[in-house]
C-alpha cells in the first residue's frame, strides 16, 4: 500500500511538471552512476604507455576525491531544484505597502528584554506622532477663527462652515481634543423669576428698574466724545522712524511704498509684521521672503526688494501684498516681467507696461518690477491694487520718461521693439536676457515671432556699445553655427555691413551686421522669405543704435 502511494506521488509529480521531474531524475542517475564509473575506470588500463613511459594507477584517495567532486555537481543542482519548490515567506516576500510591526520583526531580537525595549520605543514614536497631530488640529482651529469671523459678517457662509466644523468633530475626538467649535449663539434669553418683585423680573428681561420719584441731584460730568478715526496711513514721525530702520541700500525702495495718510485710500490700513510695517531684503537674503522663487530673480540681477501689505480696516483676513523689486537696469526689469507675464493677457498703460489679473496688478517701470498681489479676487481689492500701483509707478519712472520727453538717443526697451519690423503676423514681443538661441555668448536680445503664410521665424535685434564688439559677436555666431554642422554662406547687402545665411537641419538663420547692431532671422523654414525679411529689416535699422549701459557693480543695493 505504501509502495503504491509513493509510486502514485512520483507519477503525479512527473505529470504536473515533467521537465522538472526529468531534470531531477537525471541528477539522481548521475549521482548514482558516478561511483560505478570511477570503479570501472580505476581498474581499466585506459592510459597506455609509449616509448618507455610507465603508467601509475591513481591512489584510492584521489579516486574518492575525484568521485566526490564529480558527484557534487548533480547533487548541488538537485538541491537547488528542490529548494526552488518552496521559499521562506518571512524572508523573501516583500510588500512595499506593508508596515512591519515590532512583533513582525521580533525574530531579529536576541532576547525578550530587547524586544520590550523596541516596543517602548515604538510607543514613544506613536505618542510623538499623536502630539504632532494634536498640535496641527489646534493650529487648524486657530485658522478657523478667521473663517468664523467672516461667517458672522456673511451669514450665507454660516451653514457651510457649520458642516465643516461638524466634520472636524470626528477628527478632534480621535486625537482627544474637545468638542468642535460652535458658531450658533446658544445663550438662552432671560426669563422671569417666580415670586420675584416686578422690578427684578423686568430687569432680568432687559428692562429698566423703576426708581423713586425723589432723586438726589448729581453733579454734571462733562461728556467727552472720542474722535472718529479717519487716519489710514502712518503719522509722519512713525514713517520717518520706519524708514530710518531700513538699511541704506533699500531705503529708496521702501520709500516707494504707500505709507502716509494721503497715499493709502480711506478704509484701508497698512499691515504690521511684528514691530515693523516695512520689510526689506537684499539679493543674499531674498530667499527668506520668497523661498523657492528667489533664484529666478537672481538670474535677472535683483538688487533688493521692499515689502508691505494692506487690508481693509478691521478685517485682516485678506490682504493686498506689495513687492517692489529693484533690478540692475531696465532690461533686467523687463526680462523678469516678461517671464511672469501671462501669455495673451491684455496690457494696460502703467509704468512702461502692466496688466491686471485676478485682482492683482503687475508692472515694470525703469529698473523696477512691482507685484501687487491680492489674496482675494474682488473688485474692491482690484481697485485698491490699481490705485496704489499708479502711485508707485509715479515714483519709479524718471520725470523725463513720465513726461514723455526722453530723447531719441536714450536706449529703452520700447525703442528696441519699435525697430522690429511690423507685419508678417508679428506677435509675442519679448526680451531674452541670456543664452539666446542656445548660444552662451548671445544675451540681452529683443525679438518677436513672425508668421507669413505658414512660414514662421523669429526676428531679433541686439545693439552693442560699438561696432567692434558687434562684429566680434557676428563672427562668433558664424563660428559656433559652423561647429554645430551648419552651412555658412555670406552675401552682399547694400544696407548692411555683412549678411550671412546659416543652414542646418532644414532651418535657416539670416544674420546681418550693421554698425553696432546685430540682427536678423532665426529658425526660418523658408530661405527666400527669411532673406527678404532680413534685408528689409537691415534697411530700417539706423547706422547707430543707442546701447544699454552695463550697470555699475557698486550700484547693487544688496548689502545691509
Question: With 0-12 CB in 10 A as exposed, 13-18 as middle and 19+ as buried, what is 66?
Answer: middle
Grid coordinates belonging to 416: 528696441
DSSP 3-state of 157: helix
- Reading the chain (560 residues) residue by residue, the pLDDT tens digits are 555 565 666 667 677 777 777 877 887 888 788 777 777 766 665 555 555 555 566 677 777 777 788 778 888 887 887 777 665 655 555 566 666 665 566 556 667 777 778 888 888 888 788 778 877 877 777 677 666 666 655 566 666 776 777 677 677 667 665 544 443 443 444 444 444 444 434 444 444 444 444 444 544 544 444 444 456 778 888 888 888 888 888 888 989 999 888 888 888 888 887 788 889 998 888 888 887 788 888 888 889 999 999 999 888 888 899 999 998 888 888 888 888 887 778 888 888 889 988 888 999 988 899 999 988 888 889 999 999 999 999 988 864 444 444 444 566 777 788 888 887 788 888 888 878 888 888 888 898 899 888 888 999 999 998 899 999 999 999 998 888 888 889 889 998 999 999 998 888 999 999 999 999 999 888 889 999 999 999 998 888 888 876 665 544 444 44
Check whether residue 259 and residue 397 sit in a common domain: yes
Residues 395 and 246 in one domain: yes
pLDDT of 4 = 58
Together in a domain, 338 and 360: yes
**Do 255 and 392 have their domain in common?**
yes
Residue 458 lies in a domain: yes
How many structural domains comprise the chain? 4
Q: Same domain for 368 and 424?
A: no
| This model's pTM is above 0.75 | no
pLDDT of residue 404: 43
Does some domain include residue 181? no
What residues are paired with 299 via a beta bridge?
none
- State whether 357 and 390 are in the same domain: yes
Q: Are residues 370 and 294 in the same domain?
A: yes
| Domain shared by 117 and 78, yes or no | no
Residue 419 CB partners (closer than 8 Å, separation 6+): 446, 461, 540, 541, 545
Considering the domain boundaries, does residue 219 fall inside one? no
The CATH code of the domain that includes 475 is 3.40.1000.20
Domain range for 131 is: 108-175
Q: Which three cell numbers stand for residue 325?
A: 523689486
| pLDDT score, position 552 | 56
Q: What is the DSSP letter of 155?
A: G
Residues 421 and 382 in one domain: no
Q: Which residues of 108-132 are buried (b: 16+ CB within 10 A; e: fewer)?
A: eeeeeeebeebeeeeeeeeeeeeee
CATH number at residue 366: 3.40.1000
Residue 10 belongs to a domain: yes
> What is the torsional sign of CA 83, 84, 87, 93?
positive
The verdict on 131 and 86 lying in the same domain is no
Q: Are the C-beta atoms of 278 and 306 separated by less than 8 Å?
A: yes
On whether residue 194 sits in a domain, the answer given is: no
276 DSSP 8-state letter = B
Q: Same domain, yes or no, for 392 and 437?
A: no
Is the residue at 102 inside a domain?
Answer: no
447 lies in a domain? yes
Q: Is residue 469 domain-shared with residue 425, that is, in the same domain?
A: yes
Residue 557 belongs to a domain: no
Amino acid at each position: 500500500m505504501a509502495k503504491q502511494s509513493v509510486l502514485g506521488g512520483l507519477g503525479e509529480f512527473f505529470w504536473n511538471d515533467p521537465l522538472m521531474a526529468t531534470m531531477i531524475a537525471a541528477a539522481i542517475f548521475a549521482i548514482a552512476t558516478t561511483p560505478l564509473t570511477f570503479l570501472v575506470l580505476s581498474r581499466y588500463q585506459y592510459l597506455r604507455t609509449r616509448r618507455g613511459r610507465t603508467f601509475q594507477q591513481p591512489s584510492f584517495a584521489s579516486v574518492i576525491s575525484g568521485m566526490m567532486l564529480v558527484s557534487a555537481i548533480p547533487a548541488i543542482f538537485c538541491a537547488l531544484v528542490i529548494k526552488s519548490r518552496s521559499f521562506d515567506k518571512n524572508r523573501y516576500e516583500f510588500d512595499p505597502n506593508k508596515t512591519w510591526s515590532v512583533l513582525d520583526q521580533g525574530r531579529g531580537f536576541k532576547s525578550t528584554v530587547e524586544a520590550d525595549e523596541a516596543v517602548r520605543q515604538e510607543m514613544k514614536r506613536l505618542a510623538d506622532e499623536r502630539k504632532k497631530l494634536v498640535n496641527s488640529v489646534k493650529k487648524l482651529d486657530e485658522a478657523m477663527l478667521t473663517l468664523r469671523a467672516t461667517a458672522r459678517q456673511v451669514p450665507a457662509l454660516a451653514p457651510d462652515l457649520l458642516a465643516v466644523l461638524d466634520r472636524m468633530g470626528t477628527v478632534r475626538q480621535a486625537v482627544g481634543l474637545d468638542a468642535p467649535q460652535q458658531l450658533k449663539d446658544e445663550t438662552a434669553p432671560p426669563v422671569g423669576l417666580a415670586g420675584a418683585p416686578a422690578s427684578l423680573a423686568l430687569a432680568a428681561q432687559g428692562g429698566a428698574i423703576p426708581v423713586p420719584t425723589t432723586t438726589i441731584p448729581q453733579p454734571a460730568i462733562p461728556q467727552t466724545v472720542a474722535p472718529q478715526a479717519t487716519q489710514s496711513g502712518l503719522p509722519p514721525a512713525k514713517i520717518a522712524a520706519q524708514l530710518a530702520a531700513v538699511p541704506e541700500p533699500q531705503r529708496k525702495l521702501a520709500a516707494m511704498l504707500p505709507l502716509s495718510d494721503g497715499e493709502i485710500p480711506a478704509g484701508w490700513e497698512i499691515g504690521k509684521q511684528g514691530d515693523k510695517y516695512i520689510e526689506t531684503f537684499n539679493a543674499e537674503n531674498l530667499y527668506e521672503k520668497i523661498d523657492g522663487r528667489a533664484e529666478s530673480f537672481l538670474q535677472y540681477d535683483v538688487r533688493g526688494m521692499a515689502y508691505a501689505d494692506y487690508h481693509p480696516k478691521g478685517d485682516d483676513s485678506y490682504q493686498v501684498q506689495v513687492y517692489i523689486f529693484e533690478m540692475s537696469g531696465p532690461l533686467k526689469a523687463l526680462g523678469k516681467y516678461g517671464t511672469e507675464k501671462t501669455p495673451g493677457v491684455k496690457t494696460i498703460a502703467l509704468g512702461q507696461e502692466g496688466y491686471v489679473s485676478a485682482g492683482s496688478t503687475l508692472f515694470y517701470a525703469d529698473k523696477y518690477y512691482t507685484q501687487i498681489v491680492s489674496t482675494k479676487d474682488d473688485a474692491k481689492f482690484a481697485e485698491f491694487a490699481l490705485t496704489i500701483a499708479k502711485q508707485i509707478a509715479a515714483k519709479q519712472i524718471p520725470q523725463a520718461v513720465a513726461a514723455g520727453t526722453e530723447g531719441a538717443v536714450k536706449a529703452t526697451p520700447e525703442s528696441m521693439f519699435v525697430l522690429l519690423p511690423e507685419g508678417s503676423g508679428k506677435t509675442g514681443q519679448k526680451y531674452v536676457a541670456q543664452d539666446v538661441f542656445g548660444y552662451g555668448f548671445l544675451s540681452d536680445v529683443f525679438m518677436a515671432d513672425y508668421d507669413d503664410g505658414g512660414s514662421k521665424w523669429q526676428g531679433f535685434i541686439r545693439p552693442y556699445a560699438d561696432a567692434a564688439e558687434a562684429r566680434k559677436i557676428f563672427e562668433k555666431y558664424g563660428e559656433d553655427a559652423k561647429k554645430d554642422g551648419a552651412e555658412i554662406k555670406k552675401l552682399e547687402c547694400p544696407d548692411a555691413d555683412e549678411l550671412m545665411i546659416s543652414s542646418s537641419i532644414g532651418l535657416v538663420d539670416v544674420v546681418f551686421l550693421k554698425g553696432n547692431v546685430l540682427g536678423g532671422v532665426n529658425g526660418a523654414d523658408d530661405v527666400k522669405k527669411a532673406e527678404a525679411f532680413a534685408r528689409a529689416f537691415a534697411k530700417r535699422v539706423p547706422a547707430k543704435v543707442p546701447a544699454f549701459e552695463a550697470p555699475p557693480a557698486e550700484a547693487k543695493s544688496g548689502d545691509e
